Structure 1
Amino acid sequence: MIENIYWAGLLHDIGKFWQRAENQKLKNEELSRIFINQHYNDELFVSLVANYHQPTTREEYIIAIADKLSAGESEDKQSGGNVASKPLISLFSWLKLTKGSDQEKYVPLKLYDPDSPPYPVANKNEAVLNGRGYQKLWEGFIQELSKHKDNLASILYLLQKYLTLIPSSADNSRATISLYDHARTTAAIAAALYKEDIPEPTLQKIHRHLKNKNYQAPELQKPYFLLVGGDIAGIQDFLYDIPMDNAAKNLRGRSFLVGYLNRLVALYLVEELGLLESSILLIGGGRFTLLLPYSDLEKLQELKGRVEKIIYQAFNGKLKFILGSIPLTINDLAEGNITKRWEELGQELNREKMKPFLSLIKETPELIFGPFATPDNICPICGREATGETGLCSFCQSIVEMGAELPKAEILQEKRVVEKSSKNEISNVNELFLALGRQVRFSDKPERNCFNLLLNSYDFVVKNCQGFYFAPKTTAQEFEALAKKSEGIETWGVLRGDVDNLGKLFREGFADKITITSIAALSRAMGEFFGVYFNDLLKEFGDKVYTVYAGGDDFFVVGSWSVLPKVALKLRRQFTLYCAGNYDLTFSAAIKLAPNFKHPLFKVAEEARELLEEKAKTGGKDKIAFLDKAYTWDEFSRLQGLKDHIKKIVQSGGSKAIIQHLYGIKNLLYTNEQETSYSKVWRLVYQLSRYRDSLAKELQPYFREKIMDVVVFNTTEINPLASPAARWAELELRARGD
């Protein structure tokens, strides 16, 4: 029966899609009934979808309550006008802390495409493709539905593909939540309510109180839900603390594993509780959030201990599984208290992080404290016994081997199995996957008895797959090769960054009353920029850069050092476009260069983290740290421009003396002697004038306009960007071996 609840939750408003595609005059609920009848012909399923507006059975009340809690006060009204002309309003354009967006913007009605982010536009008619947007999507949806209509797991992916860019509400003032986000949260809420076994009379009272907005009624104060947060801690050390030999394959495998492990653990928990993937509200960035029935608390604690042990056995303590939960009432979901509860969940997770392995210490202390045999050969990564010729343990070697498979794989195959209990150690990644209830393989073609996830593409139906999965696209380039592809000095670097003030935006940025769907939608949209579209944004840089980690609200990229500033500026521009030009949605970043290509990654990663926290994220944040200084993004763009002009002059025949002239400016900027400062400025002007005169005549106007007038302005002021621009230019112009 619970599958019918999921089906009804996901498809209860499918009539809205049909209504807008063909400008139907029938009401949404009638169209939904006809749709279910045509495609499924299941009497119970039809009644759940057709009657939730006027429920008469326990199950119908559950769908009705879930719909109200998901939608909040923005339940769809039968608005006038042509519903096919109403696109999704970008949720980003409605968020505001101080400035917000200049105007409301609309998400284009189109297919989800990882190679084409849905950048919001100001023109509503452009967003709906002149009225044809809904119709084109509907035609594609119906065609692909026919191949997967009986597969509930696949339907979730199909709805994500077609309904994410469609508004749930046709009421223009409320059209910031997608039909996909409304459908999936409705399904999650309904499944939890169904498992709580609430009597029908109580459900009737709850429904009536919600309809009358009587949120203080006693029936709405009882905890029926668990908001559950999971976190894989220790990702930084796990990713970066590796030997530099074969580092690319190792990184590729580890990067995939930390993201995929999140999915496996979340699926394992919900399935062990008799639930389905739709009960996973959020997943990404090393974290996940579930909505579960409150009555599952005891079982959840048992599963927590089980997963903790599996993760410890696999990673020898380097990765830690953290799980926390808080009770939720219907009032929490109805009255806009969800942000407060979400914050409480974060605090609970932080408390859990302070006591890692506590349950393991109590129940199996020998797993943590030993005694352990001392191996003759020790794995340099994790400290276990090394085996074979690689010098690594079997588990770390299996990660490297998985990293070698990934570039050739098109499909990730999952097969659910009865978990296999392990003794005290998990010796490879396949044993880890099996312990979490999945047999996992990579392939270039689908297999009938597996759940086939197409990698990095939404075209899963035409490829005969059942869903999709996005993983960072990486290169086979080792660090030495990355260093050799750089301009100037031969080294590599890292770029890392994260979104500013995101927690505050969740707490204070919404104009309307916040629902669980609002938070789920915002988190999904933010996560998709880094987890889905990130790959495409890096394409133009080819094999000079690759993603180690991107998801949730942060990222970590390795590449030839000279290309990383361009990567950072592009990511910043596209992020601003993606977020509807919202001035309150920014990210800070840091670039750190390795002293040489053999320098340990973990040291460069840690130095970049310090730069990010101590320089880029100080003050108003929204900055980038580069060559140990922080700049606003506008300053950094101008810095790059000045650097390029300096390079052009030198590469066109000018002497490198210009670099020394400009680099020495830093000494003029910190003097307290005003008169001396004036004389030094004029001396600089004299030096620049002489340098200009030494250039070929065709270069002199360019030098005057692009460098002299930029470096010294108003005859007495020196541009503080001149010195770092000269340093940057010198690094890119330096000959190999200098």
Structure 2
Amino acid sequence: MNSAQEKLYTASLFHDIGGIVSLIPEFKKIGHAESGSLWARKIFNDEDISNIILFHEDPDKAPDIFIRNLAGFVNNGEKVFNRRHKEDETFGDVNLMSVCTLVNGKAERQYYSEPSYNAVLVDEPAGNGESLFDIASSLSREVKSKDSTYLLNLLRRYTLNLPQLNHTDLRKSFYFHSKFITALAMCDMYYFSEHLSDKLIYGALKDDEKRYLLLQVDYSGIQDTIYTVSSKGALKTIRAKSFYLELLLEDLFYSLLTKFNLPRTNIVINAGGGGILLLPNRDEIKETIDKEVSSLNRFIFDRFGGTLFVSAATLNVSANDLKGDTKDYLMTLADKLNGVKSRKWLDQIDDIFDGVKVLRGDGARLVECPVCHGLFKEEDITGMEVKVCKFCDNIMELGRVIDCAHGFKIADKLYSGPGLPVESYNHKFIFNIPKDEFTHSFDVENTGCIYVFNGSFSTEDSIDNLAGKAIGDKRIGVFRADVDNLGNIFSTTPVDLISYAELSERLSIFFCERLPDKLKVRSGRIDILKGRPMDVNLVYAGGDDLFLIGTWDDVIDAAIITYDEFKKYTGFHNGLNISGGIVLADPDVPIYKLAEISEGAERRAKENESKNSISIFNNVFSWNDFYLNKDSVIAYLNNLLAGADLNDSYVATDYSKGSIQDIYNVLKGSERNRKGKSYYNVVYINYVMNMVEKKNNVKSNLWRDVRHKALNSKKARLLACALEVALLLTRKEEIK
């Protein structure tokens, strides 16, 4: 960015900082603009930045046209997002209200317990007084660089869960408010860049002028690209491969933003294999978008063939549009994007084939890479554990260290300094790995390093090793899930772009940051497994999606942890739920097949009435029936295995495995189907169990307990699932 852009960026990012730093006596003034201006003058030693903050509430009082215009851009951003100031607000006595209160459905007001990054939701606001003073002091102390990404990271760390204190809406995070005001101001500055100092622009801004451009991009064919791996170390390779696809979009966004000197604030959303950018509506930007997307697709075609494609669509919007409900314009943008997806490759077919490098018959022996299945000359095949192409070897190395990565910076392709380099279509991503574990490290302080929140958590890189750690039956499990009805989650409540983006980022924070940490500790819901380490791998976690592989027993516990923690994270909002499917498989089933069958299980769960369900063993249960209710699958499992012993490889019970099998056979034999829904014939169950009792003189407590449950069709269904889990846990089996 040039000097003027850096001044506007810094001033707009911290335009309301006075609401925080006014708690420091040195910066205490009558209004937040005065306090913020005084703080900026000391911290940045820049009179222009100080004046932009000082006059952002009333640009007409600014001393010259340049400051009036830049302060006016900040002021316009506040008008677009409809902020009403409350200068009489007592700073420190309020907490940020959860954005989830805007979501469809019934929700009690809930607040973040404190401004810190790891705050939890609570029912009553407790105040921010002392911690707010700490934030003001820390921010003032840690502003060591004017690097745009560094400053944005700093603001996110300290103000993500802090309300915009000098405004009336306590559901608006200080961080998101500041980010979007900055994004809009930077768009206006670019749009009017020719006349910043010689023409008064602020007074001529028109709310109906389509001077903004929304760009939406999305992948097609992710599953076919990621899951076609059958090599050793496949689990970490797949995670790295899916993360690499995220990096490609990161490179696209970075390339577009840097070409027009725009900061990362203009990334509205970047999650789940897609994203939205807010840009100035200028012809040269539209032309550059077309060129960059075409260049990226050419690179993708060269690396992955025709299975993967990036679609992009743009929409011209005005300030009036952005003031309104997001669904009024985002649905139009999504329709345009779907139209592009329907004709993928068509517009670029000539460019693609001009750019593809074809190996011709020069006598060289061609070898297939077992990961990407491309054909390469023998000298281009490398690798320590598995012989793969150089590109896949780089991805596999990323997979080995991804759990330890502290962040990455983006460099040009000629970079040869410290850090682990991963090549993209335009740039290199340089990953920072701790020195005590790997050699790929660099100093992230003041560098604008982009932190890695990749949803990575793994315990094994081999599916065979995972299966061998399972209790009882030596199989693996897969859990695939996502958030229900996300596309219509704001359908009954109008929300602006800030709230829309905040919910998206907070969902990403859950799946990419919070969940990996929570999977380190068991749910405590399955009694027999308490105290054991978790053996699961997050293959993909981002946006609102989850794909997890582990031992079959730990995958069941991981599904419970996911739902438990998600409900806590969203304040138990009844409009925010997860549905998912669990499947069990032998370790030799290919990854792509696991993805396919788990997708089917997830789909069955979402087809259940009201969703909010889990599918397992081809049955679908609400989460209440699966583990939350007194009568539930997991409750019945705990009863069945009460008093059992857990050794290294299976569960030993006081009663014979045959008795569990007998009961299970009776229940499954009574299962019937009516209009696509299963039920249990209790008359048949009663008849068969009477026969068994008389023949074998059965009088055990187990038999009496299960018979009582089995004579209720709903309970019989829950019991059958619990018995199936118990059978698997008690199986004595060596891995095949």
For the criterion TM > 0.5, the same-fold answer is: yes
* 2:554 alignment counterpart: 563
* 1:87 alignment counterpart: 95
* 2:86 alignment counterpart: 77
Shift of the 489–617 alpha-carbon distance from structure 1 to 2, 3 Å rule, reads same
Alpha-carbon distance in 2 for matches of 1:316, 1:675: 49
Following TM superposition, by how much is the alpha carbon of 1:621 offset from its aligned partner in structure 2, in angstroms?
Answer: 1.2
The one-letter amino acid paired with 2:78 is D
1:158-193 residue CA offsets vs partner (Å, 9 max, x unmatched): 000001000114456x21010000011111111111
* 2:106 alignment counterpart: 100
* 1:525 alignment counterpart: 506
- Of residues 279, 287, 291, the one that matches 1:292 is 279
Shift of the 329–550 alpha-carbon distance from structure 1 to 2, 3 Å rule, reads same
Q: Does the residue aligned with 2:310 lie in a helix, a strand or coil?
A: strand
1:2 partnered with 2:5: yes
* 1:18 alignment counterpart: 21
User: Would the aligned equivalents of 1:9 and 1:63 in 2 still touch at CA under 8 Å?
Assistant: yes
- Of residues 352, 355, 359, the one that matches 2:343 is 355
- Of residues 23, 28, 32, the one that matches 1:28 is 32
The one-letter amino acid paired with 1:30 is E
- Of residues 398, 402, 427, the one that matches 1:402 is 398
* 1:210 alignment counterpart: none
User: Would the aligned equivalents of 2:298 and 2:356 in 1 still touch at CA under 8 Å?
Assistant: no
Alpha-carbon distance in 2 for matches of 1:368, 1:58: 48
Residues 420-435 of structure 1: matches in 2 within 5 Å?
432-433=423-424, 435=425
Q: Does the residue aligned with 2:251 lie in a helix, a strand or coil?
A: helix
Residues 711-722 of structure 1: matches in 2 within 5 Å?
711-712=710-711, 719-722=716-719
* 2:267 alignment counterpart: 280
Q: Which moved more, 1:390-399 or 1:18-27?
A: 18-27
1:497-527 residue CA offsets vs partner (Å, 9 max, x unmatched): 0101111113x243xx422211111111111
1:603-654 residue CA offsets vs partner (Å, 9 max, x unmatched): 0111110121134334321111111111100111111221232233674411
Alpha-carbon distance in 1 for matches of 2:20, 2:354: 57
Shift of the 31–723 alpha-carbon distance from structure 1 to 2, 3 Å rule, reads same
Q: Does the residue aligned with 1:598 lie in a helix, a strand or coil?
A: coil
Following TM superposition, by how much is the alpha carbon of 1:543 offset from its aligned partner in structure 2, in angstroms?
Answer: 5.5
The one-letter amino acid paired with 2:353 is P
Q: Does the residue aligned with 1:132 lie in a helix, a strand or coil?
A: helix
The one-letter amino acid paired with 1:474 is S
The one-letter amino acid paired with 1:108 is S
Q: Which consecutive unaligned segments of at least 5 residues does structure 1 have?
A: 207-218, 421-428, 455-459
* 1:546 alignment counterpart: 537
Shift of the 544–329 alpha-carbon distance from structure 1 to 2, 3 Å rule, reads same
Alpha-carbon distance in 1 for matches of 2:414, 2:182: 27
User: Would the aligned equivalents of 1:451 and 1:466 in 2 still touch at CA under 8 Å?
Assistant: no
Residues 228-377 of structure 1: matches in 2 within 5 Å?
228-295=215-282, 296-334=285-323, 336-367=324-355, 376-377=366-367
Residues 148-297 of structure 1: matches in 2 within 5 Å?
148-170=144-166, 174-197=169-192, 203-206=202-205, 219-295=206-282, 296-297=285-286
* 1:469 alignment counterpart: 452
Q: TM-score, normalised by structure 1?
A: 0.84
User: Would the aligned equivalents of 1:226 and 1:293 in 2 still touch at CA under 8 Å?
Assistant: yes
Following TM superposition, by how much is the alpha carbon of 1:233 offset from its aligned partner in structure 2, in angstroms?
Answer: 2.9
Q: Does the residue aligned with 1:317 lie in a helix, a strand or coil?
A: helix
Following TM superposition, by how much is the alpha carbon of 1:202 offset from its aligned partner in structure 2, in angstroms?
Answer: 5.4
* 1:733 alignment counterpart: 730
* 2:528 alignment counterpart: none
Alpha-carbon distance in 2 for matches of 1:710, 1:316: 55
Residues 669-680 of structure 1: matches in 2 within 5 Å?
669-670=671-672, 677-678=682-683, 680=685
Following TM superposition, by how much is the alpha carbon of 1:25 offset from its aligned partner in structure 2, in angstroms?
Answer: 6.5
1:38 partnered with 2:21: no
Alpha-carbon distance in 1 for matches of 2:312, 2:673: 55
User: Would the aligned equivalents of 1:671 and 1:677 in 2 still touch at CA under 8 Å?
Assistant: no
Alpha-carbon distance in 2 for matches of 1:264, 1:689: 72
Following TM superposition, by how much is the alpha carbon of 1:709 offset from its aligned partner in structure 2, in angstroms?
Answer: 4.1
Following TM superposition, by how much is the alpha carbon of 1:20 offset from its aligned partner in structure 2, in angstroms?
Answer: 6.1
Following TM superposition, by how much is the alpha carbon of 1:576 offset from its aligned partner in structure 2, in angstroms?
Answer: 0.8
Alpha-carbon distance in 1 for matches of 2:294, 2:535: 43
The one-letter amino acid paired with 1:141 is L
1:487 partnered with 2:487: no
Shift of the 322–675 alpha-carbon distance from structure 1 to 2, 3 Å rule, reads closer
User: Would the aligned equivalents of 2:218 and 2:275 in 1 still touch at CA under 8 Å?
Assistant: yes
User: Would the aligned equivalents of 1:244 and 1:600 in 2 still touch at CA under 8 Å?
Assistant: no
Alpha-carbon distance in 2 for matches of 1:142, 1:29: 16
- Of residues 57, 80, 88, the one that matches 1:53 is 57
User: Would the aligned equivalents of 2:116 and 2:158 in 1 still touch at CA under 8 Å?
Assistant: yes
Alpha-carbon distance in 2 for matches of 1:682, 1:352: 61
Shift of the 50–451 alpha-carbon distance from structure 1 to 2, 3 Å rule, reads farther
1:711-738 residue CA offsets vs partner (Å, 9 max, x unmatched): 445xx98532122221221112111059
Q: TM-score, normalised by structure 2?
A: 0.85
Alpha-carbon distance in 1 for matches of 2:153, 2:443: 10
1:189-241 residue CA offsets vs partner (Å, 9 max, x unmatched): 111111111765553143xxxxxxxxxxxx32221011011223322122211
Shift of the 254–21 alpha-carbon distance from structure 1 to 2, 3 Å rule, reads farther
Alpha-carbon distance in 2 for matches of 1:142, 1:430: 34
* 1:63 alignment counterpart: 74
The one-letter amino acid paired with 1:16 is G
User: Would the aligned equivalents of 1:411 and 1:453 in 2 still touch at CA under 8 Å?
Assistant: no
* 1:653 alignment counterpart: 654
1:125-159 residue CA offsets vs partner (Å, 9 max, x unmatched): 2xx36x323123223322322xx242222000000
* 2:139 alignment counterpart: 141
CA RMSD of aligned residues (A): 3.2
Following TM superposition, by how much is the alpha carbon of 1:680 offset from its aligned partner in structure 2, in angstroms?
Answer: 4.1
1:225-271 residue CA offsets vs partner (Å, 9 max, x unmatched): 11011223322122211014331342242133123333222112211
Shift of the 710–20 alpha-carbon distance from structure 1 to 2, 3 Å rule, reads farther
* 1:380 alignment counterpart: 370
User: Would the aligned equivalents of 2:298 and 2:352 in 1 still touch at CA under 8 Å?
Assistant: no
Return the structure number with greater relative CO, CA threshold 8 A, min gap 6.
1
1:496 partnered with 2:480: yes
Q: Does the residue aligned with 2:642 lie in a helix, a strand or coil?
A: helix
Alpha-carbon distance in 2 for matches of 1:68, 1:639: 53
Q: Does the residue aligned with 2:120 lie in a helix, a strand or coil?
A: coil
Alpha-carbon distance in 2 for matches of 1:138, 1:193: 29
Q: Which moved more, 1:633-642 or 1:646-655?
A: 646-655
The one-letter amino acid paired with 1:2 is Q
Shift of the 324–21 alpha-carbon distance from structure 1 to 2, 3 Å rule, reads farther
Q: Which consecutive unaligned segments of at least 5 residues does structure 2 have?
A: 61-67, 523-532, 645-651
Alpha-carbon distance in 2 for matches of 1:190, 1:584: 34
The one-letter amino acid paired with 2:95 is P
Q: Which moved more, 1:40-49 or 1:354-363?
A: 354-363
User: Would the aligned equivalents of 2:267 and 2:277 in 1 still touch at CA under 8 Å?
Assistant: yes
1:474-495 residue CA offsets vs partner (Å, 9 max, x unmatched): 3343101100111111111211
As a proportion of its length, which structure holds more helix?
Answer: 1
